[in-house]
Structure 1
């Protein structure tokens, strides 16, 4: 007799709430969001995720729509396997996607209107209001069980949030975190430095290649460059000077569960060469990739040693892992959920193969 369930036994695919909200402390601007409610308990199964809110935190370039494929894949897998799932929330920060610009910004975009700390405070207010709106009680006394799934600068936002509001974040999935303490120009050798030796450059790479790469990164990625969102990175290295600190505390005082994911070195090098930067692949492979990998490895120290996994390489994915590998992200989300809520131990490497 088959154990597989027929379609009529499965819960229907949830209908998202696509809406906007005005924060109580910023009444002149709207934040747009997409919210999926948690699965309903059945006669055979309760939902251990009923008080869990999984929140997607965008990078600077891709808005909340970049998580749509990941969300769809994750929900389809959970529903087809008759597994419960939490509420899912994606949103556009002020100045991003469909949302209005931050009303506190003094200048029109592109600008340095507000920093990541300001974005963390707005996120807290946003989550309080969303959670209150979707609870049957009018005055919730505590936060939901928060899990952040983040890309790029969203990882820095998650770190600042979890440190500023300890005890609120149970799980973190970092997808190619921004190197928050880097100016992105210093990744590359400096031909004007007194100690520079052109003989140390990789074969086939000229001083001009290095100068061009440094200039391209300075023009596009240096923290002094403003952006259309108005989210300044000028003080990011001051806010997060080290990848290994500050230590984070989740509910109960122990560290949150953490999975750190890095890009595929070859794919990232290929995309960097084929894109607008035209960075020679050997430069990316020699300088940027190893430094990024070391940064990711240091991130594991922000929580308890038994709560951290990684760095995991997202095979076939560049920096925007949710775009290149939505199915991969869905799998990592499910694994993190089981660790956070069910205490499931996740194994990697040789232990996972045994």
Structure 2
């Protein structure tokens, strides 16, 4: 296909950028409510160069506060890197859970939002049905009984959902990228000292911090982050600490019987403290640095242990990123996804290279 631009032939030879399908579907068993999604098909397979990700599906799992559109820049960055390097890529899927973004409310919720309409296990079962229907419709029409190898890229409570999914459906998840996981076993109020505890010594507080500062911080976190706080999604966290009481358990069984490949990412302490102070929380930075950041670091250190030791990386720091890593560092997210994919298929590629004398 001559174009008169032979000097740019290397660019012209690049595979086309995939067009996303932006659509919705109704889950079986949940009539009358649409789940909206954005889907990118996988790169093409050829007899001479099969796509090692042909049986894989990357699913992006949102936190409570950002919809699926928060992943758009990370996805664009990832696809640009794969295409510019002429590397294959799997199908990519972002979606809004019930009550999020463009999606309808969960039809099983009894109360209007904000509410505690359904719990995380309900969201996990919906995710299973959703991925199954997407797989049947888009990728495995001729053999719909086969379930894909899932790679879950998650932020905040999305990480808890991914853990519950992988534990509930063992053997389905081959890779996990945790981006500042929610501390699923925390009430987010107990992170801070309680000035009303008998015998409390105000001299134990960091320099420049008053009892009033601590009370205000505890109250703000109670109103916004305590498991009893309802949300517009209707996703209740009241039983989350019971579902996931430990950060280092349960241990997960991934695709093919081994533990899934896992990368645990934590926020940048300084960035998170600054955002917590300048945002709606107004938490004094020294409080975040003294209490919240160490607790989160300890939690992330536990998360690394939920898979086989040789399959885990982290916790690493998303430099310059606060809690919403995909918002602050989409390039970082795409880099870590590239790295995770390489680990997931590394054995296949090494065998292939040896067979070809490489």
Q: Provide TM-score, normalisation by structure 1.
A: 0.94
Match of 2:310 among 295, 306, 310: 306
SS at match of 1:175: strand
Q: Does 1:240 align with 2:244?
A: yes
Measure the CA separation in 2 of the matches of 1:252 and 1:300.
20
Unaligned runs of 5+ in 2: 1-7, 350-358
Match of 2:187 among 172, 177, 183: 183
- Equivalent residue, structure 1, for 2:125: 121
User: Considering only aligned residues, what root-mean-square deviation do their CA atoms show, in Å?
Assistant: 1.4
Measure the CA separation in 1 of the matches of 2:218 and 2:139.
50
- Equivalent residue, structure 1, for 2:163: 159
Tell me whether 189-198 or 61-70 shows the greater mean CA deviation: 189-198
Measure the CA separation in 2 of the matches of 1:139 and 1:196.
64
- Equivalent residue, structure 2, for 1:193: 197
| 1:62-73 superposed matches below 5 A | 62-73=66-77
The answer on whether the counterparts of 1:35 and 1:88 sit within 8 Å (CA) in structure 2 is yes
Change (3 A) 1:344 1:221: farther
The answer on whether the counterparts of 1:338 and 1:344 sit within 8 Å (CA) in structure 2 is no
SS at match of 1:228: coil
The answer on whether the counterparts of 1:267 and 1:318 sit within 8 Å (CA) in structure 2 is yes
Question: How many equivalent pairs are there?
Answer: 342
SS at match of 1:312: strand
Cα deviation, residue 43, structure 1: 6.8
Cα-to-partner distance string for 1:55-114 (whole Å, 9 max, x where unaligned): 000000000000000000000111011010000000000000000000000111000000
Unaligned runs of 5+ in 1: 346-354
Change (3 A) 1:213 1:6: same
- Equivalent residue, structure 2, for 1:329: 333
- Equivalent residue, structure 2, for 1:9: 13
Cα-to-partner distance string for 1:275-302 (whole Å, 9 max, x where unaligned): 0010000000000000000000000111
Cα-to-partner distance string for 1:133-156 (whole Å, 9 max, x where unaligned): 013534422211100000000000
Measure the CA separation in 2 of the matches of 1:180 and 1:229.
17
Measure the CA separation in 2 of the matches of 1:72 and 1:159.
26
Q: Provide TM-score, normalisation by structure 2.
A: 0.93
- Equivalent residue, structure 1, for 2:214: 210
Cα-to-partner distance string for 1:163-203 (whole Å, 9 max, x where unaligned): 00000000000000000000000000011112421111110
